[in-house]
Amino acid sequence: MGLLCIPTSSSVVLQTLFLICCAFFVSQALGARIPQPQPHKSLPFIWPLPAKFIFGNDSLSVDPALSLSGNGAASAIVRDAFDRYKGILFKHGDRFSFLRTLRPVYDVTKLSINVHSHSEELQLGVDESYNLFVSRAQALSGAGQVTIEANTVFGALRGLETFSQLCSFDYTTKTVQIYKAPWSIRDKPRFPYRGLMLDTSRHYLPVDVIKQIIESMSYAKLNVLHWHIIDEQSFPLEVPTYPNLWKGSYTEWERYTVEDAYEIVNFSKMRGINVMAEVDIPGHAASWGVGYPNLWPSPSCKEPLDVSKKFTFDVLSGILTDMRKIFPFELFHLGGDEVNTDCWSNTSTVSKWLRNHNMTAKDAYQYFVLKAQNIALTKNWSPVNWEETFNTFPTKLHPRTVVHNWLGPGVCPKAVAKGFRCIFSNQGVWYLNYLNVPWDDVYTAEPLEGIRKASEQKLVLGGEVCMWGETADTSDIQQTIWPRAAAAAERLWSQRDSTSGNANIIALRRLHYFRCLLNRRGVPAAPVNNFNARTAPVGPGSCFEQ
């Protein structure tokens, strides 16, 4: 059966219908497929991409006097976050209200947040899921409704971030608009651990700078700040039990007091971010001996720390006792990487101790790591160690150990196969100090690569990008972190099936948009497209195309 398409009128409408009709039947005859809408072209500018969402085509205006309702308003964490986001959304304010005789009518005047749990304890695996609903404006009342539902206050924080990204300032009407309403978003993170490591030993970072970075982490829904406070170059942290330790700081002005550390932890919690502190031992600890020289094997051989002395472990226990009062997170990083034991073998007092204990230097490395783990365990911490410990003596590590991958791929599959939990930070893709790693390599890295069993996949806690500080300080650290850290953030938050494929199609336009959002919020994120991270724009152009 067929249909003959013949124009019977000179009208434009009939001619158009005729052309459409003929094109359809020609395409059928040739076996051609009618082009279908491409899903990526309809992806909203939300970063990271939510798990499930639907949206419409309406626009709603948002009242600058937006108020908070729902039982979430009883939480100081929620109220504080609401005020922060309100300041972000309405930074233009309502500057011309004094010229108006009548107050404008806005579609959205209230944000309702309902939280099902009263607990505000922030620990690994806390429920960060949320539902966000934006109704269309009603015909009679003109009002639209925005509701966030979450099981915890920390899920509510993630919902607030998404809500803030739905809102845009319209420069024509000079109002904040929610586009593509109505919205229905049901969201939850893919991994419980989504981290960023900061190194404050190679370069000191002022507390305000650390807080700026924590704030920017919340925009990308990262939830762990791995604070690599101390290393061989400097010991900037106050330890009341051993007050001479911070004599190892660069100067007396580049230090963190106990109160500073408390402030950073509390500031982070208000944004749903845990702080995992690190004391990298025994190999990255030369700075300890500035205040206590007995920690060095000898004046000319300053690391690893002296394994032969009880004093070494007394100091370590004192440090961890003081730090436990500050850092409530259940994970504590004990380092354990890059330990060159030649210093022990070449120091007469230590080598004698090794012989008396029938140990090789390699045995002493294991002895030190396991003794440090036991100290952390007595303080109810689960120890995290860099992968060298697992690579060297996997059967000896405590079962609660979290193996932190960094040297390359393939470590997490081996670790989870032996029942250990793992954090993915493959240096080839997630070390931010490597400036020649482009954003799409960061984006396409997969923490579960090579792990097929569901039971083993659950042991991968997630991952983190590492911002080692040798060439980064206050002058360039934010440009080095962003926007590449955001690429990893989406990999760790969003569902794998919705973010697989060509990164340039799935993510590039949204990442441009997110980078510009960071810039608008005062975060000096670098251009997306530059091959070398943190480099300046190559010429004039829009933020959305650089």
Give me the phi and psi of 469, to 5 degrees please. Answer: -100, 15
Give the residue from 237, 316, 334 showing the smallest Cα distance to 280: 334
Q: By the 8 A CB rule, do 226 and 268 touch?
A: no
The tally of CA atoms less than 13 A away on the side-chain side of residue 107 is: 22
Residues 192, 440, 448, CA angle at the centre, nearest 5°? 35
Using CA atoms, how far apart are residues 457 and 143, in angstroms rounded to an integer?
Answer: 45
Per DSSP bridges, beta strands 460-467 and 167-170 are: unpaired
On the CB side of 274, CA atoms within 13 Å amount to 22
**Residue 60 CA neighbour count, 13 Å, CB half:** 28
Least Cα distance to 388 among 440, 334, 320 occurs for 334
Q: Are 274 and 224 in contact (CB under 8 A)?
A: yes
Tell me which DSSP letter residue 135 carries: P
CA 229 to chain centre: 18
Q: d(Cα 95, Cα 91) in Å, to the nearest integer?
A: 10
- Check: CB of residue 460 under 8 Å from CB of residue 424: yes
| Whether residue 524 has a cis bond before it, omega within 30° of 0 | no
Sign of CA dihedral 306, 311, 315, 318: positive
453: CB partners within 8 A, 6+ apart: none
Judge whether 134 and 183 are in contact, CB under 8 Å.
yes
In Å, the largest CA–CA distance within the chain is: 107
> How many CA atoms lie within 13 Å of 252's alpha carbon, on the beta-carbon side?
2
Q: Which of 121, 259, 338, 470 is catalytic?
A: 338
Q: Is residue 150 within 8 Å of residue 115, measured between CB atoms?
A: yes
> Whose CA is closest to 487, among 506, 468, 461, 459?
506
How far is 294 from 179, CA to CA, in rounded Å? 65
Q: Whole-angstrom Cα distance, residue 514 to residue 525?
A: 10
Task: Output the CA angle 430-260-372, nearest 5 degrees.
Answer: 60
Whether residue 259 lies in the annotated active site: no
* Half-sphere exposure at residue 239, Cβ-oriented, CA atoms within 13 angstroms: 27
Closest C-alpha to 1, from 32, 25, 27: 25
- In 3-state terms the chain splits into helix, strand, coil percentages (rounded to 5) of 35, 20, 45
> What secondary structure does DSSP assign to 458-513, as a single string?
TTEEEEEEEE--TT-STTTHHHHHTTHHHHHHHHHHS-GGGS-S-HHHHTHHHHHH
Residues identified as active-site:
338
